[in-house]
């Protein structure tokens, strides 16, 4: 096992929403240090260069998704200001390079749930002005843009939703066109199979799946991408982020099992690059959005995953691409 340290560029975490939720419950939570999976101390220990923070909300629990997302944004901005000695928001690749030179972490903003901006185009424009650079169309609910993918319930042994073949609605196609005009990267994670195909057909620029794995490796997680989807994403110049959620990793997962093992995550990575090539895969942890902690526990343990990939036979070049190289290249070309 080598002693090489791999820089980490992560495409997705739900830490901002998790901090907000804990504060609403009267609990202490700060970005600098907390009891979650991601904080500044853990990011430094894990050798992160960039963390993408999603403004995530559950549309089924919110009366006004736009206003809730603005609340999350204010929390994020407040944490950036309090910790500006260590981390800085980025909206361009040049800003990422500047942070690297000064030794600061980079924070990229994304939206997770199209209901945040489904009402008016100017809402998405406003978030663009606040530095948002990635956006999903859906979470787990149908909205005005389109349909989510299926969710398999292992206890009832049935599919939670049959909306997977229904794709983007007319307003969803319009949202895709607006994203591309605004240079906001379309994110197909959570989107139905039909929606994925609609994005692939209509997109004029590369798109992304920030936190999705291989469905052929974990068939019960229908939100994972099929091999055909992985090939399409790669051919279109896109990338996907390896998700650490055990139900997206383990083919025979059942509730109550321990989180994803390092060797299982390495096997997912092996399969994805076998199908889509070594330029299509990055990291999309979904930290603070998943229940069962993976074997490396939190952001501070990321080098353990790199070593597991080494043991699985992945080359140093391939691991470097997965950990940061592919995301850096994609952001340089598409921000």
* pLDDT tens-digit map of 184-242: 999 999 999 999 999 999 999 999 999 999 999 998 887 899 999 999 999 999 999 99
Give the least confident one: 112-121, 147-156, 183-192, 259-268: 147-156
Q: What percent of the chain has pLDDT over 70?
A: 95
State whether the Cα torsion 104-40-301-56 is positive or negative: negative
3-state SS string for 209-255: ECCCCECCCCCCCCCCECHHHHHHHHHCCCEEEECCCHHHCCCCCCC
Cα dist. 284→8, 135, 175, 213 in Å?
Answer: 10, 14, 23, 9
Identify the H or E element spanning 96: helix 93-102
When pLDDT is averaged across residues 290-303 and rounded to a whole number, the result is 96
Two structure tokens written together for 8: 């980490």
Q: Inform me whether the pLDDT recorded for 163 exceeds 50.
A: no
**Please, which pLDDT band fits residue 157 given cuts at 50, 70 and 90?**
low
Q: What CA–CA distance (Å, rounded) separates 93 from 269? A: 26
The predicted pLDDT at position 261 comes to: 98
The predicted pLDDT at position 222 comes to: 78
The predicted pLDDT at position 156 comes to: 53
The predicted pLDDT at position 285 comes to: 98
Place of tokens 């994110």: 187
Residues 6+ apart with CB under 8 A from 111: 54, 55, 69, 117, 127, 132, 134, 135, 136
**Please, which pLDDT band fits residue 154 given cuts at 50, 70 and 90?**
low
pLDDT tens-digit readout, 54-102: 999 999 999 999 999 999 999 999 999 999 999 999 999 999 999 999 9
CB atoms within 10 A of CB 171: 17
When pLDDT is averaged across residues 297-307 and rounded to a whole number, the result is 98
Please tell me the pTM assigned to this model. 0.95
CA nearest to 236, candidates 215, 212, 207: 207
When pLDDT is averaged across residues 277-289 and rounded to a whole number, the result is 98
Q: What percent of the chain has pLDDT over 90?
A: 90
């Amino acid at each position: 096992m080598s002693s090489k340290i791999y820089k980490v560029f992560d495409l997705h975490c739900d830490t901002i929403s998790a901090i907000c939720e804990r504060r609403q419950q009267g609990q202490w939570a700060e970005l600098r240090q907390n009891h979650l999976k991601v904080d500044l101390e853990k990011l430094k220990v894990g050798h992160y260069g960039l963390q993408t923070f999603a403004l995530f909300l559950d549309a089924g629990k919110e009366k006004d998704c736009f206003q809730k997302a603005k609340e999350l944004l204010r929390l994020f901005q407040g944490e950036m200001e309090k910790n500006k000695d260590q981390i800085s928001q980025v909206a361009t690749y040049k800003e990422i390079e500047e942070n690297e030179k000064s030794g600061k972490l980079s924070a990229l903003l994304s939206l997770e749930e199209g209901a945040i901006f489904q009402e008016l185009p100017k809402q998405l424009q406003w978030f663009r002005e606040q530095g948002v650079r990635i956006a999903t169309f859906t979470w787990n609910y149908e909205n005005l843009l389109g349909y989510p993918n299926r969710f398999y319930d292992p206890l009832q042994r049935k599919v939670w939703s049959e909306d997977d073949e229904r794709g983007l609605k007319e307003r969803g196609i319009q949202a895709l066109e607006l994203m591309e005009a605004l240079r906001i990267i379309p994110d197909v994670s959570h989107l139905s199979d039909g929606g994925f195909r609609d994005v692939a057909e209509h997109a004029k620029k590369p798109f992304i799946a920030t936190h999705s794995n291989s469905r052929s490796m974990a068939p019960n997680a229908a939100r994972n991408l099929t091999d055909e989807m992985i090939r399409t994403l790669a051919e279109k110049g896109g990338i996907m982020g390896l998700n650490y959620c055990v139900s997206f990793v383990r083919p025979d997962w059942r509730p109550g099992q321990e989180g994803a093992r390092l060797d299982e995550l390495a096997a997912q990575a092996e399969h994805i690059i076998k199908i889509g090539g070594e330029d299509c895969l990055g990291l999309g942890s979904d930290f603070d959005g998943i229940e069962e902690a993976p074997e490396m526990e939190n952001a501070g343990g990321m080098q353990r995953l790199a070593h597991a990939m080494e043991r699985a036979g992945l080359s140093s070049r391939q691991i470097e691409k997965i950990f940061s190289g592919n995301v850096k290249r994609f952001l340089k070309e598409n921000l």
